[in-house]
């Protein structure tokens, strides 16, 4: 009875009720060179949208950073009574990947956290020691169990349907810069034991500009137990056209634990966006599902409205809100990458 799965835990789907959303306040200039201050107004709008339905917990480095954050939140109309600040120092803002993976086991208020190892996407952006410690700090604050698989795993690399299935990519999880000592079968066992699932479905490659080596949350997302949205490019000249077409074909061949095929809804790919000569990983799939709203990155692009329309049809019980991500995406991530849910 050592692993979370053996102890009866589960990892809820993102659309299940949250008690909170966790964020780490952005502060690393190198993540948004020349644009750090410009991301705060939209980031604060994101906090406001999420806080309308749940508490937002924000990791900050010190009292000065908290005051800085409060200024932007108040300017965006955020009710600060919905915000809880934690003096948990971080290196960067990507809480999806360094934040706590919360498990529940069906008993009232009985939660646990999985503290996966974190190495900033294969050691690309040191230092990352503070980020790697965040899940343990949160577990200590709550006084709840914390499990340590002792392998590298990032929240943006895995996507769950809440009924025993996880979707991921070989480009990321099998990359030798993560866990070179593990085989695919061994990684699947870790996913089963610590994310408490029964089935791993694999896609291949990620999109251009994605410095995470192919996170699933830029590609394909579950919107209910047996339905996914997946991004597609509308022109063969798009650099991601063939990769995304191959992903659709792979999804069509997959079967869930109950034997059913996936319902597949295609989301358009926004047009190419560059910054300082670099292609940016713009994707409408990097939305975040909160209690009150689904917050979708948009890019002042001709495909924005179509993407919002399709996602609105998927989430009829929530507002679907598009927020301009043209500055935030310069950090190579958006709203899903920045957030981590805490289930009820």
Distances (CA, A) of 238 to 166, 190, 232, 273, 282: 28, 36, 10, 12, 13
Give me the sign of the Cα torsion angle 317, 332, 29, 153. Answer: positive
Compute the chain's Rg from CA coordinates. 19
d(CA 291, CA 309): 19
Distance of CA 274 to the CA centre of its chain: 22
Q: Give me the residue label for tokens 């949160």.
A: 138
Q: Which of 95, 196, 314, 337 is catalytic?
A: 337
Tell me whether residue 314 is one of the annotated catalytic residues.
no
- Ramachandran area for residue 271 (φ above 0: left; ψ -120 to 50: alpha; else beta): beta
The answer to whether 304 and 322 have CB atoms below 8 angstroms apart is yes
Strand-pairing partners, residue 323, are 297
Strand-pairing partners, residue 220, are 230
The answer to whether 56 and 47 have CB atoms below 8 angstroms apart is yes
d(CA 71, CA 93): 18
Q: Which residues are catalytic?
A: 337
């Amino acid at each position: 009875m050592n692993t979370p799965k053996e102890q009866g835990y589960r990892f809820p789907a993102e659309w299940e009720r949250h008690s909170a959303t966790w964020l780490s306040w952005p502060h690393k200039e190198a993540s948004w060179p020349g644009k750090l201050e410009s991301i705060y107004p939209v980031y604060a709008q994101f906090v406001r949208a999420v806080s309308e339905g749940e508490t937002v917990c924000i990791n900050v480095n010190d009292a000065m950073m908290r005051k800085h954050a409060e200024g932007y939140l108040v300017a965006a109309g955020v009710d600060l009574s919905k915000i809880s600040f934690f003096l948990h120092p971080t290196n960067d803002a990507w809480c999806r990947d360094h934040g706590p993976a919360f498990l529940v086991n069906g008993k009232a208020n009985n939660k646990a956290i999985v503290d996966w190892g974190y190495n900033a996407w294969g050691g690309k952006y040191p230092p990352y020691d503070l980020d790697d410690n965040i899940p343990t700090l949160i577990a200590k604050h709550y006084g709840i169990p914390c499990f340590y698989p002792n392998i590298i795993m990032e929240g943006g690399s895995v996507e769950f349907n809440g009924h025993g299935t996880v979707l991921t990519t070989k480009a990321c999880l099998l990359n030798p810069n993560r866990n070179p000592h593990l085989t695919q079968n061994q990684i699947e066992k870790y996913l089963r034991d610590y994310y408490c699932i029964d089935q791993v479905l694999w896609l291949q490659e990620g999109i251009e500009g994605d410095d995470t080596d192919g996170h699933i949350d830029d590609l394909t997302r579950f919107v209910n137990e047996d339905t996914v949205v997946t991004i597609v490019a509308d022109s063969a000249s798009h650099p991601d056209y063939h990769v995304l077409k191959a992903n659709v074909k792979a999804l069509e061949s997959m079967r869930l634990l109950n034997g059913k095929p996936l319902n597949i809804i295609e989301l358009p790919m926004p047009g190419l966006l560059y910054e300082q000569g670099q292609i940016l990983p713009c994707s409408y799939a990097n939305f975040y599902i909160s209690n009150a709203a689904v917050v979708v990155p948009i890019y002042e692009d001709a495909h924005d409205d179509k993407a919002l329309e399709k996602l609105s049809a998927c989430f009829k019980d929530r507002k679907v809100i598009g927020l301009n991500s043209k500055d935030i995406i310069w950090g190579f991530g958006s709203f899903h990458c920045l957030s981590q849910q805490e289930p009820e």
